[in-house]
Structure 1
């Protein structure tokens, strides 16, 4: 029985090889054409263009290794955080400044009209209103001693005119009541000369203040000849200053209490005079009505004015040359 014939084996003929080479050649041609289209040759007359996302070292972000890209991203993130932080600080500072400005103008204790009117009508006193302060001067006679008076926090400067009118009319002392910035002496950075220049010709200058104004007066005291504290005490050490000091307190003061004043006694010179007025409260040193937190004064305004006139007038006489 004859064997079934096997199909002839397929041999590589020259025509098949040629066809395969032709296919490979076409594929290479297509690849080269695609590369030529997507990547145009550089122009000789154009400047080289630096890729936008190039990282230091000339590596493109798309081709850069993760270790090269990470520092750039960290720097950019750090810059964003820095700007955000600075912006937040600026916003907080602006809010704080606005808050202080608003607070300083709210609740200012105004001068009572009747006592102020009596001072304006007094023929023995001349009043000059300056942007820096109010000058009360004797209408007649020569004044050689001056007192720079710094008001308490958020108290109208005019509220002290009546209580100081006696030392002007009776003792020929010129009184300059300052107008603190923002109604707060703490923020007033002006030197003592700003206020003494309002009354030229004075030989001896005393600086004084009520409450927070007294704290500021202590800071200006080295530039003065003497210091008077009205219901106040120092925060800085003047114990070795050699200045003549008069400290006046009120027995019914609920804010600058006699105890607080006594606790700060060591900051004053050893020969400082400390006087306590019976029945006087914190607001008794001015004419602006009752003050929250104060005690109940039993002394009248007229009596308080007389006591202050005697104390300040006698002290001024002792320090004048």
Structure 2
């Protein structure tokens, strides 16, 4: 005969089962609420895809003596493929772009993911959208000798990601119709950026327009097309990269 379980054994089993159900439910919720790329973004094929990143490059980028790598942290719950449009444009201009793949599409789950592509012998610039920018700036703060610049897309650093002492070029791009970005915190966060930081505003753009995916909850209505915002992102970043050489 099977031995009867004691009350504490049954209690522990119940707690364990409940824990598993909560975790499974949480993962399911995150996956269901993840923003997926548009058909336009999905149709673009990276040069290389691994379990850790998507790589965009070009012959011009590969022939450049001083290789520049843009290492990108996607926004929270946004599929990495959503950023392929502007990534491809920047790669065509002579730069390599790595779009990182994050656990559950959350940068907070892998704040040091840039380690997988970091090359100390090349010029590494971190880029981050929304929450991805917060995590990227923390990485830059902790690795000052390895990072040559930082780009924020509708994002800003917190105190742990302060770049005031890093002495690196910084570009901050926002959009006039963005209602997801906390504009009050964004203004305060300028205290964590060097005085030489460059600020650009895309008129008519919104938060979701920094990628190419469905409308984001709480966002403002863009008055320019996603294609136009993608072009502007690419143009601004390319111009800035040329200026800081």
The equivalent residue for 1:210 is 129
Question: 1:318 Cα shift?
Answer: 3.4
Per-residue CA deviations over 1:131-178 (Å, capped at 9, x if unaligned) read 101000013452411101111111110110012222111x21100001
Output aligned runs, 1:155-174, within 5 Å: 155-169=78-92, 171-174=93-96
1-structure distance, mates of 2:214, 2:54: 20
Which structure ranks higher in relative contact order (CA pairs < 8 Å, sequence separation ≥ 6)? 2
Output aligned runs, 1:246-285, within 5 Å: 246-285=171-210
2-structure distance, mates of 1:317, 1:128: 25
The equivalent residue for 2:55 is 135
Deviates more, 1:310-319 or 1:90-99: 90-99
Q: Show structure 1 runs of 5+ residues with no match.
A: 1-79, 121-125
Q: Could you say which structure has the larger radius of gyration?
A: 1
Identify which of 27, 30, 34 aligns with 1:104: 30
Deviates more, 1:246-255 or 1:310-319: 310-319
Q: Show structure 2 runs of 5+ residues with no match.
A: 1-6
Question: 1:89 Cα shift?
Answer: 6.9
**Preserved CA contact (<8 Å) 1:239 1:268:** yes
**Preserved CA contact (<8 Å) 2:55 2:99:** yes
Q: 1:109 to 1:130 in 2, by over 3 A?
A: same
1:227 aligns with 2:160: no
2-structure distance, mates of 1:93, 1:239: 42
1:291 aligns with 2:216: yes
**Preserved CA contact (<8 Å) 2:57 2:88:** no
Question: 1:267 Cα shift?
Answer: 1.5
Output aligned runs, 1:24-35, within 5 Å: none
Question: 1:308 Cα shift?
Answer: 1.4
Output aligned runs, 1:83-102, within 5 Å: 93-102=19-28
1:192 aligns with 2:90: no
**Preserved CA contact (<8 Å) 1:232 1:261:** yes
TM-score (norm 2): 0.83
**Preserved CA contact (<8 Å) 2:111 2:135:** no
Q: In angstroms, what is the RMSD of aligned CA positions?
A: 2.5
The equivalent residue for 1:244 is 169
2-structure distance, mates of 1:116, 1:102: 22
Kindly tell me the number of residue pairs found equivalent between the two proteins: 230
2-structure distance, mates of 1:96, 1:225: 42
